[in-house]
Structure 1
Amino acid sequence: MEGMLIFAGLFSAVLTAFLIESYKTLNPDPGDLTVLLLTRISEQIVASANGNASTIPPPLELNDGGPTRAALVCNALWFLSLGLSLSCALIATLLEQWAREFLHRTDIHSAPVIRARIFSFLYYGLRRFNRHAVVNIIPLLLHLSLLLFFSGLVAFLVPVNTGIALIAAVMLFVVAATYSVLTVFPLRYLDSPYRTPLTGLFWRLYQYFKIQWNRHPSPSEPADQAEHSETASETMVAAISRVAAQPSEQRAARDLKALVWTMKSLADDTELEPFVDAIPDILWSPHGRREAHYDLLHTLVNNPQTLLHARIINLYNSCDAGILPSAALKRRKIICCKALWTTIQLLPAPDCNSNLSRDSMWKVSVGRLAETDLEVLQYASSVEAIVRWRMFENDKLILSTHLASLQRLQKMSGAVDTVNLTHIKRSVRELVEHSAYYRSAQHLNFDYETSPDRQISTLLGNIRHILTITPHLILFQYFRSTSRLDALPYFFLRTVDFLRPPDCATPPAVRDDLDSTFDEVVPRLLNNVNSAEPGWMDSVMKELIRSWTLQTNSSDEFTITVLHPQLLRYLNHRRSEKAVFRAFDFHLATDGLLFWEALANTLESTATRDRLRDSLTAAWRLMSLRKNPRDSLLSRLLDACMRLDIPSVTPSLIAGFKSRYINCSRSRLSATDPANAMHRWLATIRISSVDSDVSGSPADFGFSLEHPLYVGHGDAFVVLYTEYLELCAGSSASSEFPHEAMRTLRLMDTFKIDSSHIHTTHQIQFADALRDFFKSPACGHLRSTIIANTWLFRPYLNPERSRIPQWLDDLTARDSVIATLTQFIEKMEGSAEPDTDETMHQTHTVVNALKLSSQSEGNSAA
């Protein structure tokens, strides 16, 4: 409004100057009477000279026709223009006053709620009475006033001079035509910066006619006509917003131009830093890479006008100037590391050397060696790894070129006597000796023989070796540097995905480097972050175990090796079972094939006697986490465990393996293979639940394909529990108690059991073993586990809901179990042990269910 007031004031002053002259043309001019009198005197003098003095002249009469038409038109237009101009000034003044009153009324109260309600009340009053329309009218009236002034100027000049009037008319036409073009131009080009107060009116008319047209579509209209009708009623601002945000090649080009201009205008590091800070969030989100912005940033990084990556490196190097405070220095380093991690992936390999030098690129990486701030190192470690990967990608192009050349020469066997391989030899040697990412010279042969064919063969071997092992060396080095931190580095899993080769296979040539990585990572994990919950280093361990499980030989098959000592240490001493489970989660896809085969090799190897116990306890823990071996390995593992004399761990592990075998069998168990340890155990079960008429000694049941020995799941499980209970009950102070007996009993639990009759012999054996088990002082901590956490007594704890039949149907065995549990109840009464009440309640429930079952059978017999 202030601008309108200034324009209206200046225009009114100019217009008034013209009106001072033009309004006079509306009244008779006194000079005309003087001219008329002088004309009459002149006529009388002439008449006297001619002798006609007695003639009486007619009376003097002035012209009463009034002002001319041009004067009327000119003054009417100018006075109308002046009125409009002054009216605009008045309305602008009132609008300023109304705006001040609006702000005053909304701020007069101190309570925010009252201010908000007054604001909304008055604001919607503005909307209700269309004050925005009044604001738009003022410039329209001023423009109309200016048009009237030019029109009046033409009318004013017509009586004066036709040529000058013509010039003024041409000027008026040009102004009117330009004004008309500026009015309708935004209707066609929404990005036009030109518009007039009439543009909004024409836009509404245009939208109205579009709606009317779309209401009556012709049969030949395109299919997207309905979509146009949806946007026909939108405002001009909404249309601009829609077109500006609509994905298109034009929008991408605009975005790129804007970013290039921004980069070129950010000459100061302080101005560049916020721009660099926003780069990672533009390209990456917590859910992955934002593909919508990838092409844009890729172009920006490789645009020769911006060289974004070089600008980020220069910003990082500015941290060495020593002028920034510590907090600002730390922030700038982190910002640069995050941006470098993001942008270095966008550099295409063929253009890396042209966009920035290897020295400047590597300076950022080695800068972490002098860094002491662990928070900065969390970002710098990932940057260092990604820089190594990027540099190797560059060198891989050179090596691939050498490889192709050597392969062509190798095909020309016998015709390469004079070939010069010096430059290839020098290139390979310099890469191995001076490349920061390459730290291993295993299996490289620099002793080139004189024969060109032998030299070519040696060079081919060296290049293939470098191309194969280098990605793994970079990955393992990243694992080692990560283990020295106190938190997971920036985008750890994303960085690992970049570093890990596409085929994911770990070649045997890097086994020494893999072993050294285990030797460094595992002790740090167990010594520093071995808590009861999963920690950040468990993610490192999971990726390291994945590399170990993907070891291959030349046939691209699993390498059968022995277990690494540090892997055994991790499995045995990591406190968090959830962490161990997650670390071996990759095995879900392969059932832990490599681990269990390596375990079998370790158990069968005479050179690993010092780690047998650790291997068994590690296997037991992994099995207790439901990471079971494949069925094809069960027999081999069972045989290996049975040959070992480690009394504590072996029985628990054997019990777990047998339980796994029984659970995985979909039909009745058969003992038909004397070489199978599981089948040999099944043969020791004297009575078959399928054929209850079979009797005799174990020797009567030989192995025969024609007459196999079938065993039901129920019999097998009862015998398995009976054997383990006898083992626990037989332990004394002089012998080792079974390893993790409580968890082993729970591990043997199952819901999968057939409903066939369990033979009386097995029931009696179980009852005797249970009696000895409850009498043994060494088994006191396991009694509640037997009652509450096994399928043996689950049918009697929940007889209504249990899916397992009440299998204790032999009266002798049932009475023995009732007597054992009753003695246990009498002994536990008044005990102060924890969870005694719950155990007593469960035991009472089982005893009552067993007694009820006995009564029911007695009534049936009667």
Structure 2
Amino acid sequence: MINQDALVVDPGDEAAAAKLWAVYISEAEKYDKGLVESWKSDMQGMLIFAGLFSASLTAFLIESYKTLNIDSGDATVQLLARISQQLDGSANGSTLPIPSPSSFTPTTASIVCNALWFISLGLSLTCALIATLLDQWARDFLHRSEIRSAPLIRARIFSYLYYGLKRFNMHTVVEIIPLLLHASLFLFFSGLVAFLIPVSRIMTIIAAFILFIVVITYSILTLLPLRYFDCPYRTPLSGGFWRLFRSYQRIWAQSTSKSTLCDETMVEAMARCAVEDSAERMIRDGRALVWTVKSLSDDSELEPFVEGIPDVLWGLPAPEYPVAVLLGSAGPQYGQRYSYADHIRELVNNPDVRLCDRIESHLQSCDTGLLSAEVRKRRLIASYKALWAIATLFHPKQFPTQPVLDFSRWKRFFKMEEDCDILHYSVSAQALLRWNSVNAMEPRSLELLDYLAKCRIDIEQGHELDKQPIILILKEVLWDDYYYVQRLSQSNLTVELISEIETEINGIRCNTRLHYLERAAGLDSEPYQWRGTLDLVLLPSFKVFKDEQPLGYTLFRIVQDQIQNLNTKNCVWIDTIIRDLYCSYTPDGPTMIPSGMIRYINERTEINPLFWLNCYGRLLPNFPITLSTPSSDRLFSTEDPILTALWRLTSSPYLVGCESAMYLSVLEVLANSGVSAISISVTVLVKAELYRSLGSALTDENWLSHFNHPLFHTETAVAPQPSSVIADQDNNIPSAQMFMWNRIDEGMVALLAEFIELCGSEPFPYKAVETLQHIGRRFPPTLVHDIHQNRLAQAIGKLFESPHGAEILPFVADLNIFAPYTERGPRLTPWLSSHSARGIIKATFYAYAETLPPDCSDFKSAPLLPRLRQIIERLDSLHPDIKPESSILDNEEIEDDDPGSSLHVDEG
């Protein structure tokens, strides 16, 4: 129901909708003009045919209409015959009766013939008249639709007139005109048969046969498009038979209680059949694309087609993404599109198309100097993107059943570009093309390796060798490097040269990947499709060969050149490259960490957590062998940078635990490396991680062996009676594990005491504050032996007297072990049961508080004084069984004779 309020339109709303109606006008004008022009063209052809046909038919009618009346010649002959008879009778004296004139009746064939031809002539002339009128109506329709220039008015006139055409069924009138002309033609042939019946039987049969052929042909042309929607033939009766056929189907469906069919026209059925998925459609699409490329003779015509290839093969979203997206990627995840993969592959393999050759010529046109800089840049980028997408179609990982395409002979593909914007695309495309070429030459490479193995045996046996097969295969495999070809041409084949060639052949894949990573890292932004390229340029069977120097040097160069950019810009892809390089670097057994990775760990300001998750388990096992290796073999790394890298590794909050044996091996190497400021902090961190690894690997079977681990001190307050430990039912933690975690917490207190002792002596530990915070972040212990309590208290007292006391003590007071004695841990169990330990800690904190500014102007001391006050007060209040030595008064100073009388507590 129409809302009456909506009929009153605001002029302002009408003006605002002008742009919308302008779009409607542009589309409606094209449609209406195309429709009207097609009508006018049809009418002009029908007028010509109707005129010629009417003229021909009139000539036949001039002769046929005479058969409807008596022939004057026959009447004259009859009259002369009667006169002759009368004259003969007068001569003989006899009188003959005068016969009455005979009546004339036209024959049936004459009547039928003339009836059909006159009707045919009438239909032909009617068709010409309607065609003339329709031509006039079409011109009038276009004229009336353009009488106003305002978009809103024109739009409504277009709509008003078009729906008037549909209301008065003008489309049906247009279809009736050729039907009238066809009916006129059939009537003519039928009348011709009737005309020839009294003339000649043979001619009648011939005419009837022609009429039969025309009727059969016309029937076939009428019914054929009802079965085959792609049939170009149709007649005006085809639409009527289609509607009759669909009506019969609907009646049948309703009578059989089936679902009713939709009222679908022939055009709609054709469109549905054209777009539905089928093998025939795939074949048609392939043929259409082949024809398209063959018809594109100029580079400017080929360019739009090349630009469309990447979007056809790759894009967003990616419902089926076969390439593993690397961790840490924050960008969009592009995925493979499979619908047109076979078509593009056919264009590449078709000898009449050779799409890659066309793209190569397209690239070469950029070097002629005839293109402007903007056009050249756009053409190069489009070509490299297309080549990258095409290369994925022939990658053995993506399509293992497809033959690998060799791109090595297209030299223009590998030309080095200088424009940074173009490099983002050329680097990825060239890497993938090279990788495909390497895989395409793999059979020849294996053949060469087998031949070299035989040559090695022949050399050892003193036989003569044929170098020509080696030279021929080397020219194919090393298409852009003829160094070894020249050496073979100038010298004899030796075992040493065979080893070098074997190493080069085996390292082709490695060098291809390293070359891509190094070039990608040198860009100022992420290369085109670099995540997918990284995965595709590295097959699952990729391993670093015995010679690890190329990878190590590549990693070193990337870090050396890009470390500043990594710390000042958002270069996530370079981080991923470095991480991926190192993950590819580690073989099956421990190996020395390259200096590039050491420098990256030390100098990278913010390392992504995913780096630790991926590399921690690979890095830690390699530190023992790296520290044990002589400095001359460490690829420029000395001991101190290695230790600082190990410190940063073990101090990271994003760690994946390793086995305890691994930490023990690291501790063993650290013990043999000597005592230094760095080794002290690293040793403490490794011990802390060892404690955590023991706790993470706890089971009901191994907890007792972990409990007696040599790393723990023999003195413990945790009695080895797990049955007495209450299990954590809420978190489903068994009592044995709870018992072991108490032991670990006690060990962490002992480790803290050890490290605080070292902070009060020389050498002062490396990054002492950060190390202390890392090892002291665990929850407070429950049971701690008095020896460890007293050692911790004495270490704190010694630290206060050392030069670094003021620097470290604020962070000691902030450790989690003191949480039960502050407001942060009211539900935690107090563990300082030793009276002497509490006394030393209180005295130390009293003395330290005396050194703090009274006005709390220091930003560090502002939260520190309340915390010290809480710890000192609760050390007494939470252990009431032992009489405290002194107390603190709220908001007052302590008496001068009190050891802690200098402490002033400020509420702020």
Deviation at 1:109, TM superposition (A): 4.7
- Where do 5+ consecutive residues of structure 2 fail to align? 1-38, 316-332, 397-401, 723-738, 884-908
Q: 1:833 to 1:57 in 2, by over 3 A?
A: farther
Q: Distance in 2 between matches of 1:475 and 1:248?
A: 41
SS in 1 for 2:528: coil
Asked if residue 13 in structure 1 is aligned to residue 41 in structure 2, the reply is: no
Deviation at 1:184, TM superposition (A): 1.9
Asked if residue 620 in structure 1 is aligned to residue 659 in structure 2, the reply is: no
Q: Distance in 1 between matches of 2:597 and 2:51?
A: 95
Q: 1:64 to 1:765 in 2, by over 3 A?
A: same
Q: Distance in 2 between matches of 1:724 and 1:69?
A: 126
- For each residue in 1:255-287, what CA deviation from the matched residue of structure 2 results, as whole angstroms up to 9, or x when unmatched? 333333223222222222222222333333353
Q: Distance in 2 between matches of 1:438 and 1:805?
A: 76
Match of 1:379 in 2: 425
Q: 1:502 to 1:383 in 2, by over 3 A?
A: same
Q: 1:723 to 1:163 in 2, by over 3 A?
A: same
Deviation at 1:811, TM superposition (A): 8.1
On the 8 A contact 2:563/2:604 being kept in 1, the answer is: yes
Q: 1:481 to 1:170 in 2, by over 3 A?
A: same
- For each residue in 1:170-191, what CA deviation from the matched residue of structure 2 results, as whole angstroms up to 9, or x when unmatched? 3333222112112222333333
Where do 1:827-842 residues align within 5 Å?
A: 831=856
Q: Distance in 2 between matches of 1:177 and 1:835?
A: 105
Q: 1:240 to 1:26 in 2, by over 3 A?
A: closer
Q: Alignment partner for residue 506 of structure 2, among 468, 471, 482?
A: 468
On the 8 A contact 2:366/2:376 being kept in 1, the answer is: yes
Match of 1:713 in 2: 744
**Amino acid of the structure 2 residue aligned with 1:508:** K
On the 8 A contact 1:742/1:785 being kept in 2, the answer is: no
Q: Alignment partner for residue 663 of structure 2, among 630, 634, 639?
A: 634
SS in 1 for 2:233: coil
Q: Alignment partner for residue 767 of structure 2, among 736, 739, 751?
A: 739
On the 8 A contact 2:777/2:816 being kept in 1, the answer is: yes
Q: Alignment partner for residue 563 of structure 2, among 517, 526, 529?
A: 526
Match of 2:466 in 1: 421
- For each residue in 1:578-601, what CA deviation from the matched residue of structure 2 results, as whole angstroms up to 9, or x when unmatched? 2xx4445533xxx523x2232112
Deviation at 1:722, TM superposition (A): 4.0
Deviation at 1:309, TM superposition (A): 1.9
Q: Alignment partner for residue 601 of structure 1, among 625, 636, 640?
A: 625
On the 8 A contact 1:385/1:474 being kept in 2, the answer is: yes
Kindly report the root-mean-square deviation, in angstroms, between the aligned alpha carbons of the 2 structures: 5.3
Deviation at 1:569, TM superposition (A): 1.0
Q: Distance in 2 between matches of 1:64 and 1:726?
A: 145
Match of 2:819 in 1: 793
Where do 1:64-213 residues align within 5 Å?
A: 68-84=111-127, 86-87=129-130, 89-90=132-133, 93-94=136-137, 97-98=140-141, 103=145, 109-110=150-151, 136-155=175-194, 166-207=205-246
**Amino acid of the structure 1 residue aligned with 2:289:** L
Deviation at 1:420, TM superposition (A): 4.7
Match of 1:452 in 2: none
Q: Distance in 1 between matches of 2:582 and 2:769?
A: 28
Q: Distance in 1 between matches of 2:877 and 2:179?
A: 101
Asked if residue 477 in structure 1 is aligned to residue 515 in structure 2, the reply is: yes
Q: Distance in 2 between matches of 1:562 and 1:410?
A: 32
SS in 2 for 1:488: coil
Q: 1:328 to 1:825 in 2, by over 3 A?
A: farther
Where do 1:288-299 residues align within 5 Å?
A: 288-299=335-346
Deviation at 1:306, TM superposition (A): 1.9
Q: Alignment partner for residue 267 of structure 1, among 287, 294, 297?
A: 297
Q: Distance in 2 between matches of 1:445 and 1:16?
A: 90
Q: 1:837 to 1:250 in 2, by over 3 A?
A: farther
Match of 2:309 in 1: 279
Deviation at 1:409, TM superposition (A): 9.0
Q: Distance in 1 between matches of 2:752 and 2:174?
A: 92
How many residue pairs get matched? 791
Q: 1:379 to 1:63 in 2, by over 3 A?
A: same
- Where do 5+ consecutive residues of structure 1 fail to align? 219-225, 450-454, 552-556, 693-707
Deviation at 1:633, TM superposition (A): 0.9
Deviation at 1:663, TM superposition (A): 2.5
Q: 1:404 to 1:124 in 2, by over 3 A?
A: farther
Q: Distance in 1 between matches of 2:758 and 2:553?
A: 41
Task: Using structure 1 for the length normalisation, give the TM-score.
Answer: 0.75
Asked if residue 341 in structure 1 is aligned to residue 388 in structure 2, the reply is: yes
- For each residue in 1:303-340, what CA deviation from the matched residue of structure 2 results, as whole angstroms up to 9, or x when unmatched? 22222222222222222222111111222222333333
**Amino acid of the structure 1 residue aligned with 2:379:** R
On the 8 A contact 2:712/2:747 being kept in 1, the answer is: yes
Q: 1:361 to 1:58 in 2, by over 3 A?
A: closer
Deviation at 1:506, TM superposition (A): 0.6
SS in 2 for 1:712: helix
Q: 1:298 to 1:836 in 2, by over 3 A?
A: farther
On the 8 A contact 2:822/2:870 being kept in 1, the answer is: yes
Q: Alignment partner for residue 578 of structure 2, among 541, 547, 565?
A: 541
Give aligned-pair identity as a percent.
27
Q: 1:740 to 1:436 in 2, by over 3 A?
A: farther
- For each residue in 1:651-685, what CA deviation from the matched residue of structure 2 results, as whole angstroms up to 9, or x when unmatched? 43333323322223345998979xx9x95542165
- For each residue in 1:142-182, what CA deviation from the matched residue of structure 2 results, as whole angstroms up to 9, or x when unmatched? 44444344444545555666655554443333222112112
On the 8 A contact 2:777/2:815 being kept in 1, the answer is: yes
Deviation at 1:379, TM superposition (A): 2.8
Q: 1:410 to 1:539 in 2, by over 3 A?
A: closer
Q: Distance in 2 between matches of 1:846 and 1:97?
A: 100
Match of 2:372 in 1: 325
- For each residue in 1:661-713, what CA deviation from the matched residue of structure 2 results, as whole angstroms up to 9, or x when unmatched? 2223345998979xx9x955421655446579xxxxxxxxxxxxxxx999613
Q: 1:723 to 1:132 in 2, by over 3 A?
A: farther
Match of 1:654 in 2: 683
- For each residue in 1:475-511, what CA deviation from the matched residue of structure 2 results, as whole angstroms up to 9, or x when unmatched? 22333333433333333344343443542221122x2
**Amino acid of the structure 1 residue aligned with 2:600:** Y
Q: Distance in 2 between matches of 1:635 and 1:13?
A: 108
Q: 1:139 to 1:824 in 2, by over 3 A?
A: farther
Q: 1:115 to 1:309 in 2, by over 3 A?
A: same
On the 8 A contact 1:361/1:387 being kept in 2, the answer is: no
Where do 1:42-61 residues align within 5 Å?
A: 43-44=82-83, 46-48=85-87, 50-51=89-90
Q: 1:462 to 1:292 in 2, by over 3 A?
A: farther
- For each residue in 1:374-408, what CA deviation from the matched residue of structure 2 results, as whole angstroms up to 9, or x when unmatched? 22223333344345434444554334234445768
Match of 2:617 in 1: 592
Q: 1:740 to 1:491 in 2, by over 3 A?
A: farther
Q: 1:148 to 1:530 in 2, by over 3 A?
A: farther
Deviation at 1:69, TM superposition (A): 4.1
Match of 1:486 in 2: 524
- For each residue in 1:519-546, what CA deviation from the matched residue of structure 2 results, as whole angstroms up to 9, or x when unmatched? 3211111134432644332232223212
Asked if residue 436 in structure 1 is aligned to residue 480 in structure 2, the reply is: yes
SS in 1 for 2:620: helix
Deviation at 1:795, TM superposition (A): 9.3
Q: Distance in 2 between matches of 1:445 and 1:794?
A: 82
Deviation at 1:436, TM superposition (A): 2.7
SS in 2 for 1:323: coil
Q: Distance in 2 between matches of 1:440 and 1:791?
A: 67
On the 8 A contact 2:70/2:104 being kept in 1, the answer is: no
SS in 2 for 1:592: helix
Deviation at 1:618, TM superposition (A): 1.2
